[in-house]
A and B are shown apart, each in its own frame.
Chain A
């Protein structure tokens, strides 16, 4: 049994916009799964349907085997969701927001209060428990939504851009927290625009574009399919032109100390350094120009330019 099973899911909005054009997706139990796609690809619509916030046009969705058509209550009770937009009453104190959510799941007040304390402490919000939600910073609001989503101990947690607008330090602590939740057995589906986040956290990935799944595989095999990577090299001495490198792709001079080299899958960094060495060019430092998943993502979702 899958944690999430989607078959032939379609969604056409009232205005005629076809957001989903028949997607199929299976997420294994215990997985940390990335659902990626450019803006407007259909990710949030898909999550909205799973969370019962959007009515589907056709297709089936099952959460741990429970259909959202015939066993909606059972499916909902296994699901937790952190949406992209803030969706809490900003005038309510944050401990009430979390305990109320527990109440909506039928959790008695005494247990709800204990769990609220546990999650607010774990997410560093306990000292703000009596503050109205509007007084929190953006990062705190994101953590509040995570605490709220975990209060009923869901087996499937959907995180729709949980670290958007969060500074790097906090983002890393949230990654650690999500990793802990996943290692305790919770299946996590993550959508994010930070592809480094997806590459670091997720074992499997699906890329959705224009309402269709265009790639659905393991993160490892996806990254293996990358044909080349661009490296930025910082040279020790001044260079006057981009060096010619045999077998390598595009070599571009950025400034008198910096070049960018496209390294194909068939060649190694050693080959690159060797060739530069023969040309008496010494490399001080080097780095990947972009994250590897980002390069793949751009390649997969690139749109042909429209003729003028």
Chain B
């Protein structure tokens, strides 16, 4: 098959994924917007006003990049995990498995859906933040690169979860018991400089810390982590998860007998 045909196949999968979350916008767009709105009201305005400043800025300005990042992470992850698991569970993944498409095209198609949803929700949440903070972006390019890389990374992670999941409980366990705690402990609501030395060092093992801080660097120009280090860590995780995804798809783990 010619590369142009692979491009058509990729576009078909990506388009289908984007249409899927667009069709169910009540489930995909509204809840994160409402949730982040509540975070801004409670933590940003009500409690934040009493906290004062963090890293030299208003508390609401400090948490804003982290809240956007949290939306990107959860939405890119949940888009791929639910879509891929649904396709597997209802067997329509077979439509793609029987077709002459290399696994990398299937992978990139699903990941594109996750990235698109992560970025769309991220943009929507950023707009919501305008009601609570002044709009200020220190470096838009860094913001976009970090958002894209993070959405890509968590889309890959969602696919791995979906491959191993055998029922709907399995696609809820990882977001509830791994993703949410790591996100909350990833420096969204506080600077790790506030932590004792031991907890600071332990926090460095949390990959989400690097994403939140590099994102905050893009928005506010300040971060607990060196930007290049943070981007390097994200890139390493992307490469690692990409290899795992490709290996699972090549083996047919969870999708073929």
Measuring CB to CB, which residues of chain A are less than 8 angstroms from any residue of chain B?
A: 13, 45, 48, 51-55, 72-74, 76-77, 79, 81, 83, 85-90, 96-97, 100-101, 103-109, 148
Contacts and interface: CB of A to CB of B under 8 A. Distances in A.
Given A87-B92, A89-B90, A100-B16, A108 B98 contact: no
B256 A105 contact: no
B54 interface: no
Contacts of A48: 257
B170 interface: no
Nearest to A104: B99
Contacts of A72: 100
A79 B8 contact: no
Given A52-B98, A55-B257, A104-B99, A73 B1 contact: yes
A226 to B, nearest CB: 36
Given A55-B257, A87-B91, A106-B8, A101 B99 contact: yes
A73 B2 CA distance: 11
Interface string B1-29: 11011111101110110000000000000
Given A87-B92, A108-B8, 5 more contacts: A13-B257, A77-B100, A89-B90, A90-B90, A103-B9
Interface string B115-142: 0000000000000000000000000000
Given A55-B252, A77-B1, A90-B90, A104 B95 contact: yes
A193 to B, nearest CB: 21
A51 B98 contact: yes
Interface residues of B, number: 30
Contacts of A89: 86-87, 90, 92
B41 interface: no
Interface in B58-113: 86-87, 90-92, 94-102
Given A13-B257, A55-B257, A73-B1, A104 B94 contact: no
**Which has the most chain A C-beta neighbours within 10 Å: B6, B12, B86?**
B12
Contacts of B5: 105-107
B9 A87 contact: no
Given A53-B256, A77-B1, A105-B5, A100 B95 contact: yes
